[in-house]
Amino acid sequence: MKVLSVTELTLAIKFLLEPQFRSLSIRGEISNFKLQSSGHLYFSLKDAGSQISAVLFKGNAASLSRLPKEGDQVIAQGEISLYAPRGQYQLVIRELQFLGVGELLLKLHQLKETLQARGWFDPKCKKPLPKLPRRIGVVTSPTGAVIQDILHILTRRFAGFHVILNPVKVQGEGAAQEIARAIEEFNRYDLADVLIVGRGGGSIEDLWAFNEEIVAKAIFESRIPVISAVGHETDFTIADWVADVRAPTPSAAAEIAIAEKLGLLKALGAARQTCMSRVGSQVTHLRQRLGALQKHPLFSSPYALLAQPIQNLDHVREDLAETFFQKTRERRGRLDALKRQLEVLKPSSQIAQIRQRLSGYPSRVLVALQQQIRNRKEKALRIEEHLRSLHPKKLLKQGYSLVFVGDQLIRSAQDLKPNQPFYAVLHDGRVEATVNNTVENDTRSTLF
């Protein structure tokens, strides 16, 4: 039995594994997302039962509309690669599609198959357009560029017709219901000879109102021929397939509506089909050539030769940085500990500490004594101020007076008799007088 080294075994697995799993499309949820400083994206794709490591290199990541985040549902296209240094297989991603749009496309495809089975797309159900319509109904937004483009084409080419606009929302909640109701109103009141239903370009989400079954039903049941003009030439919706005529743009819809002869419409349709066929053939031929080039190892996976060195460099950079910072922290900690230990053991440091503790005692005693003296002085001042506030002269200055008969202080009016001499002491002297009469206090008095 031949004995293999780990590297030999890993490389053998790598050469057997990678060719068998190229051009994969895998659906999963983003987890453990990490953006390297080099611009490469590392994460895992997982589902309820398993997960696989994945890498999206900087060159391929540049085409993303936004960076993925934790929890995103995506479809990843790429191939399996074995990362030899860790013995770990991973998915090298070339394209990443966020699953929200994919779900809308799936829903669109399912509705298309359902309506096609009902015969709503059958050419036999298509109504011919009037040769010279005099009343042209338009179902679109009143504020967008579509109505302006239609009016510009109609007024520039011909006169003698009426344009009737039934304004509706063309995207967002309730838009499909408004569009269907507008088509039904044109039919109910026989307001037009031909209808143009459409809006400007946008994403699949923006155009989604024209992919609703309620709009398709209103177009299919319309007695008035309907021209669908939704988005740009490359945009196709359910409304386009159900309508009697599909116009590549709103301006083209206006031109189709006012074409003078049905033969001109057929000629234009034939020319369009010829162009589409030729362009389709060219596109198919070029796509085949491109596919052949993509199958070449250097073009199908530009990182096939560089994937492992690039990942090695990323891991080495991380390991070096972590080791450097860890060693630096350890050495600095040991140096600080030795410095502190040396300072504590020096006799001069110990003597300085003792001297510092003793040097503070006299100043603290002096401060304590000074504080005690200040406290005693403040207390004495408060007592003195209190005593001054109780002195009779302070009350006399406030408008009061003391009444004496001889040396006796009179405290009641009943102590005085008529014609009895007395004197009142005020703050700045005394007043001598004789009692005329005494009157008892009256509770109705406004003064006392």
**CATH value at residue 60:** 2.40.50.140
**Residues 331 and 222 grouped into a single domain:** no
Is 313 part of a structural domain of the chain?
Answer: no
Q: Is 49 helix (H, G, I), strand (E, B) or coil?
A: coil
- Domain end point (choices 236, 259, 282): 259
pLDDT score, position 67: 86
CB 198, CB 247: distance < 8 Å? yes
> β-strands 408-409, 402-405: how paired?
antiparallel
**Residues 64 and 146 grouped into a single domain:** no
Is 113 part of a structural domain of the chain?
Answer: no
**Residues 236 and 219 grouped into a single domain:** yes
**Residues 131 and 212 grouped into a single domain:** yes
**Residue 395 CB: number of other CB atoms within 10 A?**
14
pLDDT score, position 138: 96
Is 26 part of a structural domain of the chain?
Answer: yes
**Residues 152 and 243 grouped into a single domain:** yes
pLDDT score, position 299: 57
- How many Å apart are CA 191 and CA 224, to the nearest integer? 9
Q: In what order do the strands lie in the sheet with 194-199?
A: 162-167, 135-140, 194-199, 226-230, 245-246
In our burial notation (b when 16+ CB lie closer than 10 A, e otherwise), range 413-447 reads eeebeeeeebeebeeeeeeeeeeeeeeeeeeeeee
Better-scored residue on pLDDT, 399 or 191? 191
CB 258, CB 154: distance < 8 Å? yes
Strand partners, 53: 44, 90
Better-scored residue on pLDDT, 380 or 169? 169
- Is the per-residue pLDDT at 445 higher than 70? no
Q: Hey, CA dihedral for 25, 27, 30, 31, is it positive or negative? A: negative
- Mean pLDDT computed over 251-275: 76
pLDDT band at 263 (very low <50, low <70, confident <90, very high): low
pLDDT band at 298 (very low <50, low <70, confident <90, very high): low
pLDDT tens-place string over residues 70-97: 777 888 999 998 887 888 889 999 998 8
- How many Å apart are CA 87 and CA 64, to the nearest integer? 29
Pair of tokens at residue 212:
């609703």
pLDDT tens-place string over residues 392-442: 777 777 777 888 888 888 888 888 888 889 888 887 888 888 988 888 776
Total domain count for the chain? 4
pLDDT score, position 260: 56
- Is the per-residue pLDDT at 448 higher than 60? no
Looking at this protein, which amino acid is placed at residue 398?
Q
- Is the per-residue pLDDT at 179 higher than 90? yes
- How many Å apart are CA 87 and CA 12, to the nearest integer? 11
pLDDT band at 256 (very low <50, low <70, confident <90, very high): confident
Which residues constitute the domain of residue 13? 6-102
Is 306 part of a structural domain of the chain?
Answer: no
pLDDT band at 447 (very low <50, low <70, confident <90, very high): very low
pLDDT score, position 50: 86
- Mean pLDDT computed over 376-381: 88
**Residues 172 and 238 grouped into a single domain:** yes
Q: Is 427 helix (H, G, I), strand (E, B) or coil?
A: coil
Span between the terminal Cα atoms of the chain, in Å: 129
Q: Which of 52-66, 299-313, 424-438 has the lowest mean pLDDT?
A: 299-313
Is 264 part of a structural domain of the chain?
Answer: no
**Residues 251 and 346 grouped into a single domain:** no
69-73: long-range contacts, CB 8 A cutoff, minimum separation 24: 69/30, 69/33, 70/30, 70/31, 70/33, 71/29, 71/30, 71/31, 72/29, 72/30, 72/98, 72/99, 73/27, 73/28, 73/29, 73/98, 73/99, 73/100
- How many Å apart are CA 43 and CA 57, to the nearest integer? 11
Q: What is the DSSP string of 208-245?
A: GGGGSHHHHHHHHH-SS-EEEEESSTT---HHHHHSSE
Q: Which of 247-256, 271-280, 306-315 has the lowest mean pLDDT?
A: 306-315
Q: Torsions phi, psi of 77, nearest 5?
A: -115, 130
- Is the per-residue pLDDT at 110 higher than 80? yes
- Domain end point (choices 238, 259, 280): 259
Q: Hey, CA dihedral for 266, 267, 273, 277, is it positive or negative? A: positive
- Is the per-residue pLDDT at 103 higher than 70? no
Is 287 part of a structural domain of the chain?
Answer: no
Is 161 part of a structural domain of the chain?
Answer: yes
- Is the per-residue pLDDT at 300 higher than 60? no
CB 41, CB 61: distance < 8 Å? yes
**CA distances for 203 relative to 95, 200, 234, 289, 318, angstroms:** 19, 10, 11, 29, 41
**CA distances for 43 relative to 70, 113, 302, angstroms:** 9, 37, 20
Q: Which of 109-118, 156-165, 239-248, 326-335 has the lowest mean pLDDT?
A: 156-165
**Residues 52 and 73 grouped into a single domain:** yes
- Domain end point (choices 52, 71, 102): 102
Q: In what order do the strands lie in the sheet with 421-426?
A: 408-409, 402-405, 421-426, 429-434
- Is the per-residue pLDDT at 156 higher than 80? no
Looking at this protein, which amino acid is placed at residue 412?
S
- How many Å apart are CA 71 and CA 77, to the nearest integer? 18
Residues 6+ apart with CB under 8 A from 376: none
Is 218 part of a structural domain of the chain?
Answer: yes
- How many Å apart are CA 84 and CA 9, to the nearest integer? 10
- Is the per-residue pLDDT at 8 higher than 90? no
pLDDT score, position 100: 61
- Mean pLDDT computed over 208-228: 95
Q: Is 191 helix (H, G, I), strand (E, B) or coil?
A: coil
**Residues in the chain, how many?**
448
- pTM of the full predicted structure? 0.42
**Residues 162 and 228 grouped into a single domain:** yes
- Mean pLDDT computed over 308-333: 84
The closest alpha carbon to 197, from 263, 189, 216, 188, belongs to: 216
pLDDT tens-place string over residues 115-124: 999 999 999 9
- How many Å apart are CA 216 and CA 231, to the nearest integer? 16
Average pLDDT score over the chain: 83
pLDDT band at 261 (very low <50, low <70, confident <90, very high): very low
**Residues 141 and 252 grouped into a single domain:** yes
Q: Which of 151-160, 241-250, 278-287, 297-306 has the lowest mean pLDDT?
A: 297-306
- How many Å apart are CA 104 and CA 238, to the nearest integer? 13
Q: Torsions phi, psi of 135, nearest 5?
A: -125, 115
Q: Is 436 helix (H, G, I), strand (E, B) or coil?
A: coil
**Residues 372 and 403 grouped into a single domain:** no
pLDDT score, position 402: 84
**Residues 16 and 92 grouped into a single domain:** yes
